[in-house]
Chains A and B, each alone.
Chain A
Amino acid sequence: MTQVVINGLLVGASYALLAIGYTLVFGVMRLLTLAHGQVFMASGAIALIAANAYGLPLVVAGLLAVTIGALLSALTDVVSFRPVGYSRPIAAAVSTIGFAIVIERGIIAIRGDETAVPFLFEVNTDFRVGSVQVSLVEVATFVLALVVMVLTSRFLQRSRWGIAMRAFSRDPEAVALLGVPVRRLAVRTLAVAGGLAGLSAFLWVARNRSVAPSDGFAVGLIALAVMTIGGIGSMRGAVIAGLTLGVVVNVLDYQGLRGWQAAVPWMLLLVVLLLRPQGLFGEADA
């Protein structure tokens, strides 16, 4: 059982990292990107396709994933948010559905089929603590989630750029009038979120040994639920909700209730929405 709970925490860390990306974008721009899961998937997939084709070293593949994640995510602003306009949040969210389709189907078209891209590096980072087996990759994901949570919260609270970002979320026009380059702010925020998605995608493939085009929504939607459960705009909420969800899902699987585990994030989400719409750790009208 300990092992199952640990498995859950380690899987949950991936959800949390992705949810932090969603919440960062939403917290700053008040816009929802439904293509974030695809950014995650594509950065892992493209890095692996390139690594498998050209025999790139592991580290290069990792850097590639981060770069692709940041670029694709920043592209969301160029192709979806900007053309639609920051003042049309619903239309902007719908436009990112189009972007998600383009990314996912683009990967499938380039690759020629929908099957998972395999991770062909032979790395074994496993170690045991007592009876519990974990891999260094998983531990890295977990630590990264915590570090990112602390850093982004601090960054948003303290740094000049962070303060501008928070102000942007409240009144983009006023921030623009104050001379803050709104567009650069938006692009940078998305790039940071995307870079994180790329990094977590790389850790994901290193642990799970593959990434499939359908993982974009499969993982992305769960992370979206995690963000909302934790509270939109709350880094702490994203991490706590992500870890909790990882554990609950794995325990259900272990208990032979696998058929219902897909319902867990959505059930939790509905309960939270009806009882505490701002999420567990969100501020009202954040």
Chain B
Amino acid sequence: MGAFATVDFWGLLGISIVAAIGMNLVYITGQLNLGQAAFYAIGAYTAAWIDTELGWPLPALLLAAAVVAGIGAMPIAWGASRLAGIYLIMGTLAAGQLVQVAFGNAEELGGRQGYRIESQIALPEVAASVGVVLILATLLMTSRFGLRMRALFDDSDAAAVAGVAVRRVKIFSVVVSASVVGIAGGMWALWIGKIEPREFGVFLSFDIALYSLIGGVHSLIGAVAGAVVVEVLTGNVIRDVVGPWAFVIYGALVMVLIAVLPEGLVSRSFALRLTAPLRKLRRRRVESGVLSHARVEPAGETVLTVRHVGHRYDGVVALDDVSLEVRGGEVLALIGANGAGKSTLIDVISGRVPNEAGAVTLLGTRIDGMPAHRRKAMGVGRTFQDVRTFAHLTVEESLRLSAADGARSNATVEAMLDRVALGRRRDDLPEALTVAERRRLDIARAAIAMPSVLLLDEPSVGMVEQERIEIAELIGSLRDEGMAVVVVDHNLDLALGLADRVGVLDFGVLIALGSPDAVLADERVRAAYLGHADPLDGVGS
């Protein structure tokens, strides 16, 4: 045990924990940054230079490290927000390498020979810094903004529809993460007393990334766990004991852990179980409130207007000159064969895909051209055909994410939980829900901000009869409150049973629009369905 009792073991562990928290803050938005060594280096050099030249006190040194690293991260954050997947990995890797080369060539900062620091940081100061960073990070992650960051990990499309300004949140997370990693770098410089550019190479970036990947990105407990594991496995202690094979063991364990524990040592559900008592303690009894109706127009007013809208996928016409209106307090059902353009129409209205022609107007305002999160704020709510629940947000968090801003959002969430009968499920993750519960959550998320128009894509897929009836009642009650509802559903029973009007799409063309009876009697509708399925096949099934 002796070797673990050294001041250096605990000091370096503390510094790693800070870096791990920094990594979690960016990877939680789904951005795997493999260039964190750059910000670590910027923090280290900032603290070292200011210490030597200006002699500031320790808190000011670390604050400066955070600020400079954050500023340095801004261009990288901007670039990274345009990239994803392997391109993001390559881009951040490149940024890390460039910063390392730059410090190597900075002769004023000692160049490749490195830079020596006089001041030192002591263990209590490291502990205090870890504490402060941990508290600030916890506040951020549990805030509404933190919720937006976390939503991006699972599904940036669905997050945008839930009102998250995807690029802005991504940029912010890279910058704030860089600041925290910069603090870790500053602490490290002060701990060791000498920094050399070659220490800030790709291996450091890998280690920092592995803190999150091994420990678990969905909680700060995971960051701490990851830092402990990596630090022990790569630290001096194990090298003294195992010798040169220590790193081989480390590499092998990385492979095992990544394969066996995809979410890391502390998965989201594990973290939820760990923190359950805390949540109970904190949860104030919130009076079940009433959903705000501020946006809903008087029934019968035109809410949404679609004019001459067209869209193509790779040259294939998905929508061709579609025009329709939806009024407050009515359900418009869209039917048509697979690929007829129903989902594309919803995508165009909600801003997931751009319309190439025509206009979309909501309450007199042109909304085509706006990004999805702005349309959500304007009053467009939607669900996806493949249920897009956020895998790592609890039921309550999902609703809180989608609720409109404001002091009453807690009450609104409580009201919605009651309404869709998910109160007992509030702290569960979507994977624990039944199909029907997931659908209800999906609709609740789309409806909680009381949108003027609610777009539901296949709300009853995979449900049994009883569940369908419940969904239909829920949709009906939303309509009765004055929302304009557009439903796409394969189950014609449900669609026609609810619908005030029906629109039929065929190869992107709206071939009929009117009352259910009139549309089903339409010759063109019947003709269009020949060769497909009879439109009435689904009825009564």
Given A90-B85, A260-B105, A105 and B248 contact (CB-CB distance below 8 Å): yes
Q: Say if the beta carbon of A89 comes within 8 Å of chain B.
A: yes
Given A95-B254, A95-B255, A112 and B97 contact (CB-CB distance below 8 Å): no
- Selected from B89, B94, B203, B245, the residue in CB contact (under 8 A) with A270 is B94
Task: Please name all residues of chain B whose beta carbon is closer than 8 Å to the beta carbon of A269 when the two chains form the complex.
Answer: 90-91, 94
Quote the shortest CB–CB distance from A274 to chain B (angstroms).
Answer: 6
Report B75-94 CB contacts with A as 1/0, cut-off 8 Å: 00001001101110111011
- Selected from A95, A108, A274, the residue in CB contact (under 8 A) with B244 is A108
Which chain B residue shows the least CB distance to A261?
A: B101
Given A259-B105, A274-B82, A109 and B97 contact (CB-CB distance below 8 Å): no
Quote the shortest CB–CB distance from A200 to chain B (angstroms).
Answer: 21
Q: Are B247 and A93 in contact (CB under 8 A)?
A: no
Q: Are A228 and B90 in contact (CB under 8 A)?
A: yes
Q: Are A94 and B209 in contact (CB under 8 A)?
A: yes
Q: Say if the beta carbon of A245 comes within 8 Å of chain B.
A: no
Q: Are B255 and A102 in contact (CB under 8 A)?
A: yes
Given A263-B98, A270-B98, A26 and B255 contact (CB-CB distance below 8 Å): no
Task: Please name all residues of chain B whose beta carbon is closer than 8 Å to the beta carbon of A108 when the two chains form the complex.
Answer: 244, 247
Which one of B32, B89, B202, B245 has the highest number of Cβ atoms from chain A below 10 Å of its Cβ?
B89
Which chain B residue shows the least CB distance to A83?
A: B259
Task: Please name all residues of chain A whose beta carbon is closer than 8 Å to the beta carbon of B97 when the two chains form the complex.
Answer: 221, 262-263, 265-266
Q: Are B32 and A90 in contact (CB under 8 A)?
A: yes
Q: Say if the beta carbon of A91 comes within 8 Å of chain B.
A: yes
Q: Are B83 and A273 in contact (CB under 8 A)?
A: yes
Report B89-110 CB contacts with A as 1/0, cut-off 8 Å: 1110111011001101100000
- Selected from A79, A102, A109, A273, the residue in CB contact (under 8 A) with B87 is A273
In A265-286, the 8 Å CB interface with B consists of 265-267, 269-270, 273-274, 277
Quote the shortest CB–CB distance from A213 to chain B (angstroms).
Answer: 11
Which chain A residue shows the least CB distance to B80?
A: A273
Q: How far is the CA of A82 from the CA of B291 in the complex (A)?
A: 49
- Selected from B98, B210, B252, the residue in CB contact (under 8 A) with A94 is B210
Task: Please name all residues of chain A whose beta carbon is closer than 8 Å to the beta carbon of B104 when the two chains form the complex.
Answer: 259, 262
Task: Please name all residues of chain B whose beta carbon is closer than 8 Å to the beta carbon of A90 when the two chains form the complex.
Answer: 32, 85, 89
Q: Are A260 and B258 in contact (CB under 8 A)?
A: no
Given A94-B210, A225-B90, A266-B97, A112 and B255 contact (CB-CB distance below 8 Å): no
Q: How far is the CA of A131 from the CA of B102 in the complex (A)?
A: 36
Range of interface residues on chain A? 35 or more
Q: How far is the CA of A260 from the CA of B103 in the complex (A)?
A: 11
Q: Say if the beta carbon of B213 comes within 8 Å of chain A.
A: yes
A-B Cβ contacts below 8 A, count: 126
In A202-219, the 8 Å CB interface with B consists of 217
Q: Say if the beta carbon of A99 comes within 8 Å of chain B.
A: yes
Quote the shortest CB–CB distance from A218 to chain B (angstroms).
Answer: 10
Q: Say if the beta carbon of A32 comes within 8 Å of chain B.
A: yes
Q: Are B254 and A101 in contact (CB under 8 A)?
A: yes
Task: Please name all residues of chain B whose beta carbon is closer than 8 Å to the beta carbon of A79 when the two chains form the complex.
Answer: 255
- Selected from B91, B243, B245, B251, the residue in CB contact (under 8 A) with A99 is B251
Q: How far is the CA of A262 from the CA of B103 in the complex (A)?
A: 12
Q: Are A109 and B259 in contact (CB under 8 A)?
A: no
- Selected from B91, B101, B254, the residue in CB contact (under 8 A) with A97 is B254
Task: Please name all residues of chain B whose beta carbon is closer than 8 Å to the beta carbon of A99 when the two chains form the complex.
Answer: 251, 255
Q: List 20 A-B contacts (CB under 8 A).
A: A32-B89, A88-B262, A97-B210, A101-B247, A105-B245, A105-B251, A109-B245, A109-B248, A217-B203, A224-B90, A228-B87, A232-B86, A259-B101, A260-B105, A263-B102, A265-B94, A266-B98, A266-B101, A273-B91, A277-B83
8 more CB-based (< 8 A) A-B contacts, given A83-B259, A101-B250: A32-B89, A84-B259, A228-B90, A262-B101, A266-B98, A267-B94, A270-B94, A273-B79
Can you list the 6 inter-chain pairs with the closest CB atoms, starting with the nearest? A101-B251, A98-B254, A83-B259, A102-B251, A105-B247, A266-B94
Residues of A within 8 A of B (CB): 26, 32, 79-80, 83-84, 88-91, 93-95, 97-103, 105-106, 108-109, 112, 217, 221, 224-225, 228, 232, 259-260, 262-263, 265-267, 269-270, 273-274, 277
